[in-house]
Structure 1
Amino acid sequence: MNVLIVIAVFLLMEGATWVIHKYVMHGFLWILHRDHHDHSNEGELERNDWFFVIFATPAIALMYFGAQAAFNYLFYIGIGITLYGMAYFFVHDIFIHQRLKVLKNTQNPYLLSIRRAHKQHHKHLGKEHGECFGFLWVPVKYFRMYFNK
């Protein structure tokens, strides 16, 4: 049962990520997310990187309180959120934005689809008129670009 909770939360995080990205990051917290689009911050870290702390805090709290209660469901919800966050970090920061130079020349259709959708998202420098707010699942048209070759 605990494994099912982790898997369900991981999958549900994709929907949560879409909503948070579109309405929070491109909404009232645009002040933190803007430098990720316009590259106005010259340093290694962006204000946008605060979102890792913001999103990790509830996951840590859930794991803590779940562990205090004999590792109940809260702990496993926190694990699902954490695993999604780790996947996000590896795919978004390492693969897409190449903070570490790995898989730069991949020919994997799934990874190319994600990279292309993310480029479409970043073509919009402002907070309005965005597209492709998802992360692991992107609009089908991007999958078709690489899977139908």
Structure 2
Amino acid sequence: MHWAIGILIFLATVIFMEGFAYVAHRWLMHGPGWFLHASHHRPRHGNWEWNDLYAAIFAVPSIVLLLGGVQWGWWPGTIWIGAGIAAYGAIYFGFHDIIVHRRLQHRYLPKSSYMKRIISAHRLHHAVETKDGTVSFGFLWAPRPEELKAELKRRGNAGVRAATATTRDRVEHP
């Protein structure tokens, strides 16, 4: 397989994964998988939460595709697809776990409107503590925070945790 085709497959996979992540987050994690994901909508005690098992679960297809392409003689495109899934996982980890949830301490402050938008959207998602009623399920694309706040208000702020001065400041001024 020509490397340029592989790169296109890789990029298409990364883009596809954002759609897959939205669907999995919206209808799996906030659906039957809430028993694991609920830990992510509560304050974390320690380094791990039950929700972290999703990283291992979603890594399996990537590992299988990479092994299949490299070791088992599958179609060479499976390597690029597996790498695209892994790249999305790395992007997700960097954005979600490091930048937004600060699971590793850093001094990064978002300056671009894009980063401010997706961080605000994710924090608005976490303003809701319950399985239902939340907004913004994507990770690399999100509606404007004003739209999300209006949607939460339209829903009567059902499930929204009471804001403290700290959380209010983080949501409004990431």
Asked whether the two chains share a fold, i.e. TM above 0.5, the reply is yes
Shift of 1:136: 0.3
Q: Please, which runs of 5 or more residues in structure 2 have no aligned partner?
A: 148-174
Name which of structure 1's ranges 94-103 and 128-137 shifts more when overlaid on structure 2: 94-103
The answer to whether 1:114 aligns with 2:118 is yes
Partner of 2:21: 17
Q: What letter matches 1:76 in structure 2?
A: W
Shift of 1:111: 1.1
Structure 1 residues 51-107: Cα deviation after superposition (integer angstroms, max 9, x where no partner)? 110000111001101112166111111000000000000000000001122254232
Q: Superposition pairs for residues 47-62 of structure 1, below 5 Å?
A: 47-62=50-65
Percentage identity across paired residues of the two chains: 38
The answer to whether 1:28 aligns with 2:32 is yes
Instruction: Please give the alpha-carbon distance, in whole angstroms, between the structure 2 residues aligned to 1:97 and 1:54.
Output: 20
The answer to whether 1:43 aligns with 2:46 is yes
Q: How many residues align structurally?
A: 142
Q: What letter matches 1:136 in structure 2?
A: L
Q: What letter matches 2:58 in structure 1?
A: F
Partner of 1:84: 88
Q: Please, which runs of 5 or more residues in structure 1 have no aligned partner?
A: 145-149
Does the residue aligned with 1:27 lie in a helix, a strand or coil? coil
Identify, as 1 or 2, the structure richer in helix: 1
Q: Which has the higher contact order (CA 8 A, sep 6+)?
A: 1
Does the residue aligned with 1:28 lie in a helix, a strand or coil? coil
Output the TM-score relative to the length of structure 1: 0.89
Query: Highest CA radius of gyration, 1 or 2?
Result: 2
Instruction: Sort the Cα spacing of 1:115 and 1:52 in 2 relative to 1 into closer, same or farther, 3 A.
Output: same
Instruction: Please give the alpha-carbon distance, in whole angstroms, between the structure 2 residues aligned to 1:103 and 1:138.
Output: 23
